[in-house]
Amino acid sequence: MQTELIKIDPDNVDLGKIRQAGDIIKSGALVAFPTETVYGLGANGLDADAVARIFVAKGRPSDNPLILHISKLEQLYPLVSEITETAKLLMEKFFPGPLTLVFKKSKIVPLITTGGMDTVAIRMPSNPIARALIDSAGVPIAAPSANLSGKPSPTTAEHVFQDMDGRIDMIIDGGPSDVGLESTVVDTTTNPITLLRPGKVTLDDLRSVVGAVSLHTVVRKGSSEEMVEARSPGMKYRHYAPNAKVILIEGQYNAVNLKIVELIEKYRGVGCKVGVITTDESSEFDVDVTKCVGRDASAFGRNIFRVLRELDDEGVDIILSEGLEDIGLGLAVMNRLRKAASEIIVV
C-alpha cells in the first residue's frame, strides 16, 4: 500500500485536503492525524471492518480497546447508554481537550472497538485538524496512538511515517504535538470516578471539579508492574518501549546524577553504547549521547517520546533517565517512563 503524506497548517486548515482525508475514513480505510496529545491512527469507529484494520496496522492485541473521537457533543449521545452528573461536569470543564471519558456503551458501538467490553472511551480533541477531520468524516473516529504496538507514541508525522509507511492510506502532518503525552483517561462508570491513565488534565484538575477521584493501581507510584487484571486493558502491555534498555533513576537530584555517573562507568566499561536523558541543559556526562528534555514537566512530557525514539535511532544499548516528582503533570510523565523502563533504581 502506498502511504500518502500531506501537510496541513493547523492555523489555516485546508478543507479540500481534509475532505480527501475524510473520504478515506468514510471508505473504511486508515488516516493518521495530529491531535494536541499525540498523533492518532483513525478509522470509522462504527465500522467493524475498518476498526479491524487499525489492529492489523499497529500489531495491537485485540482486547485493547480504542478511543472514539468526536467533534460535537451531539455525537456522544448515540454512543453511550448512561451519562452521570459527574461526567457532565467533566465534559463541561475539559471538552474539547486532552481528557478521555469512559461510559457504558450503547448497542451501535461494535465490540471490536471496545475490545469486547461493555464500556466505551470517548474524547473530543481540541486540535483544529482533528476536529475538521471528524466533521468531514461524519462519524466518530476510533484512534489509538499511531505507533506500532509497543513503540513510543508518535509526536510528529515523521514518527508516524517511520512506523506506518506502507501500512495505512494517509498521514496528515500538522506539526509537532503540543502535549506530547496521551490523554488522561477517566472511568465515569465508577463512584467515585477512577483515574485510569494520568495526562495533561491532572489529578488536581479532576479533583477541583468533581471532588473524589480514585486511582487505579497503575497510577499509584511505582506499581506499574503490579497491573495484571486491568480495567483499562491497554495498561497491562509493556508500552513505550524503545529497543534500548531503559534504566530510570529516581530520587534526590544530586544523588540521581551521582548514580548516573556510576552507571555510565559500569555500562561503558562492558562496551555498551550509553545515552542519558537529563533535565539539565548544562549537564555534561562522559557518554555517547545526552538528550535534554527540560526541567519542567510540560517540557519533559512534550519531549520524552521523541527523545526515546532518537536514542533508538542512534543505536544506544542503554538509556539512563532522570525522573520527576509524581506531582501535577509529573505523574503522567513518570507513568510513561516507568512503563518504558526495564529497571527502576531509587536512590
Residues that bind ligand TXA (CB under 6 A): 35, 37-38, 40, 64-67, 100, 102, 114, 117, 119-121, 123, 143-145, 182-183, 185, 196-197, 231-235
Shortest Cβ 17–ligand TXA spacing (Å): 19
| Phi and psi, residue 269, nearest 5° | -60, -30
**Cβ closest to ligand TXA, residue 65 vs residue 242:** 65
Cα angle vertex 123, ends 121, 128, to 5°? 155
Q: How far is CA 179 from CA 36, 52, 148, 341, in A?
A: 6, 28, 20, 21
Q: Which of 37, 71, 127, 145 binds Mg ion (CB under 5 A)?
A: 145
What residue type is assigned to position 187 of the chain? D
Shortest Cβ 347–ligand TXA spacing (Å): 30
Q: Which grid coordinates belong to 219? A: 497510577
Shortest Cβ 239–ligand TXA spacing (Å): 8
> Using CA atoms, how far apart are residues 159 and 96, in angstroms rounded to an integer?
25
Shortest Cβ 127–ligand TXA spacing (Å): 9
Contacting range for Mg ion; rule: CB under 5 A; set: 73-81, 87-95, 111-119, 145-153:
145-153
**Cβ closest to ligand TXA, residue 70 vs residue 121:** 121
Please state whether 74 falls in left (phi above 0), alpha (psi between -120 and 50) or beta.
alpha
From Mg ion, ligand TXA, none, which one binds at residue 232 (CB under 5 to 8 Å depending on kind)?
Answer: ligand TXA
**Cβ closest to ligand TXA, residue 63 vs residue 280:** 63
Contacting range for Mg ion; rule: CB under 5 A; set: 48-56, 140-148, 204-212, 225-233:
140-148
**Cβ closest to ligand TXA, residue 3 vs residue 190:** 190
What residue type is assigned to position 267 of the chain? Y
**Cβ closest to Mg ion, residue 259 vs residue 339:** 339
From Mg ion, ligand TXA, none, which one binds at residue 121 (CB under 5 to 8 Å depending on kind)?
Answer: ligand TXA
Contacting range for Mg ion; rule: CB under 5 A; set: 80-88, 92-100, 144-152, 313-321:
144-152
Shortest Cβ 80–ligand TXA spacing (Å): 11
202's CB contacts (< 8 A; 6+ apart) are 184, 328, 329, 331, 332
Please state whether 315 falls in left (phi above 0), alpha (psi between -120 and 50) or beta.
left
Q: Looking only at Cα atoms, what is the longest distance across the chain?
A: 61
**Cβ closest to ligand TXA, residue 145 vs residue 224:** 145
Beta strands in the chain (DSSP E): 4-7, 31-33, 40-44, 67-69, 99-104, 119-123, 141-142, 170-173, 184-187, 193-197, 213-215, 245-250, 274-278, 289-292, 318-322, 343-346
Shortest Cβ 238–ligand TXA spacing (Å): 13
β-partners of residue 197 are 185
CB neighbourhood size of 283 (10 A): 14
Residue nearest ligand TXA by beta-carbon distance: 234
Name the residues that contact Mg ion, by CB under 5 A: 145
